Structure 1
């Protein structure tokens, strides 16, 4: 019977690989067209690999826990000639015949100096992609490398290492340069240290933060009183989270001054065309940032429903690729962890990130009663790309957000 491969599909325009987390088929089992047979995890979500046609599972090549590149063969189906013709799928036999027809037959005296692929070696040549970044523990040391030689760069590329990964290595070369020998010695030194496998999401966060820090980032903060927000929240059903009040005030402030959310491309500052803002959501092994659309035009009630739906899907790893794209800024409420200050880092494609710290009861002077009264105060913190926004502009933005939070009914 004809054979059809089960391939790792293109799961998004920026996704090159995915990790198999569950296999729902066994050899000999019958599957239908478009049936989800393998569950895979990308950097931000879990997705399903489906079959192209009806058939019987012949062989499974994929293994749970392994990462495969887009286009890799995960298994094979046996299908009927009628099913292959009905669905228009290309079988391995048809592909082999097509290759044979296109390539001239070499004479016995000729030697092929390029790679030859035959059907028997097809399985062995399927790429299994290991994660490209491996975190290294950081021992105490003196100065490291400022210059990486071509030889060192080539060795790092072979091992999937970045410059940040070798910052812990003490260099013995000229001017403190890290040599290949230094790197090998360091890796041997830590080879028996406890370690754990970094998940695709953890690697995605690491990559995003590295790219973010290629820009000059700065952070400013100011206190904000939350008592009026808390009083308004108590009167609502369902009750919006504090994050949503801050999100709404942030969107309104940016709508008044869109330049604060612009991003620099060459000699131009590109301004936002919509106020789509992401919200950082803590999940098991990292952070995902689903994006809420047109926040400046939504009511708190609408945001409450949309936010609850997004958070639920984020924690179940059911976000679509479009759910995390197109944001112009992010809000993160790390106050839920009891933190009273922090320095959030914006995503590489965003200029701003606004953080809300934990509320703390403090004595605040009241001009009405001419005495100190207890009030709930929290820090609003914004980190920004200093190429686009200056400290004064960031301060004015925080001031406007704080003012809007004093009139929560208007949010």
Structure 2
């Protein structure tokens, strides 16, 4: 007998049910893979109607091992799954959570690529400490990213058919964690305005986002986003860009690292943070992301000019 839930690929073991006569052939790397799985993503009209009735999407059943031709998930498979999970603890997903889920589904339809590098943070920290307004660290990165994208506009383009469209203005979103989700207020013309000029809008938008009181015009139209995941102590992550954006910059936690100094001939503590950019690989390549990250790192070494 098959283990409970094995048909759905959600048990603690590796059991997966396949048709007995399903042939296996080696892949290009010599790994055995099922052949003839082209029908796995097909759904019958009856299946689509049932899923629409339940408010479900294809990604909601991705872990079900289909019993139909070519691995297709049948309506019987779906009903068996629903019966299997019928007694599981559950809570209603909030509208915020559903909105985030929908955005990430749409974003994931694109091929995404991530790259990262460390950034020395001591100049930024010192500049912030001596600033009378103590701007948020994320604002420094938003300003640096905007300037880097202004120099490399192809990295913020949109692929539409056979054309890459360049944005008319460089508007940068700031990811703000709220209860059960994320809100992204958008700063306008970030490359054209100094930190001092941006500060009032930045503080206002962040405060409104935390209260979940963002106006629609303040949360749309961004071409890139900055997310500071370092606030949770994370040193590395691979954030996903919004569906309407081609690139996102993530900032990790600041850590102290001993670095050898030829000047004093000793190890000295240096503040560092990892920055990671994820881009739409149809538009940007690794070299493009590398240039943007390199420029961001360079700009942050002279924060007084931001």
Higher relative contact order (CA 8 A, sep 6+): 2
Coarse TM-score class (shorter-chain normalised):
0.7 to 0.9
Q: Which runs of 5+ in 2 are unaligned?
A: 1-7, 19-39
Change (3 A) 1:328 1:235: same
Shift, 1:172, TM fit: 2.1
Cα RMSD over matched residues? 1.7
Distance 1:312 1:174 in 2: 53
Secondary structure (helix, strand or coil) at the match of 2:226 reads: strand
Aligned length: 275
Match of 2:26 in 1: none
- Residue 138 of structure 1 and its aligned partner are, at CA, apart by 7.8
Task: Go from structure 1 to structure 2 and tell me whether the alpha carbon gap of 1:165 and 1:138 turns closer, same or farther (over 3 Å shift).
Answer: farther
SS in 1 for 2:298: helix
Say if 2:65 and 2:71, in contact at 8 Å, map to a contact too. Answer: yes
Which residue, 283, 290, 296 being the options, matches 2:185? 290
Name the counterpart of 1:321: 216
Do the aligned residues in 1 keep the contact of 2:9 with 2:65 (CA within 8 Å)? no
How is 1:354-369 mapped onto 2 (pairs within 5 angstroms)?
354-369=249-264
For residues 393-404 of structure 1, the aligned pairs below 5 Å read 393-404=288-299
- Corresponding residue for 2:30? none
Distance of 1:272 and 1:298 partners within structure 2:
17
* Structure whose alpha-carbon radius of gyration is higher: 1
1:189, distance to aligned residue in structure 2 (A): 1.3
Q: Could you give the per-residue CA deviations for residues 112-139 of structure 1, whole angstroms, max 9, x where no partner exists? A: xxxxxxxxxxxxxxxxxxxxxxxxx982
User: What is the TM-score of this pair, normalised by structure 1?
Assistant: 0.64
Secondary structure of 1:295's match? coil
Kindly indicate which of the two structures has a greater share of residues assigned to helix. 2
CA, structure 1 residues 262+367, in 2 after alignment: closer, same or farther (shift >3 Å)? farther
> 1:341-400 CA deviation, whole Å, 9 max, x = no partner?
001000011000000000111112334334321111111100000111110111011001
Instruction: Give the one of 271, 284, 289 matched to 1:389.
Output: 284
The answer to whether the 8 A contact 1:343-1:381 is kept is yes
The SS at the match of 2:191 is: helix
Alignment CA distance shift 1:297-1:143 (3 Å)? farther
- Residues 1:139 and 2:13 aligned together: no
Q: Is the 8 A contact 2:122 2:270 kept in 1?
A: yes
Counterpart contact for 1:143–1:176, Cα < 8 Å: no
Tell me what 1:303 maps to: 198
Query: Where do 5+ consecutive residues of structure 1 fail to align?
Result: 1-136
Q: Could you report, residue by residue, the CA deviation over 1:274-306 in whole angstroms, capped at 9, with x for unpaired residues?
A: 111000000112001110001112222232221
2 CA distance for matches of 1:268 and 1:184? Answer: 44
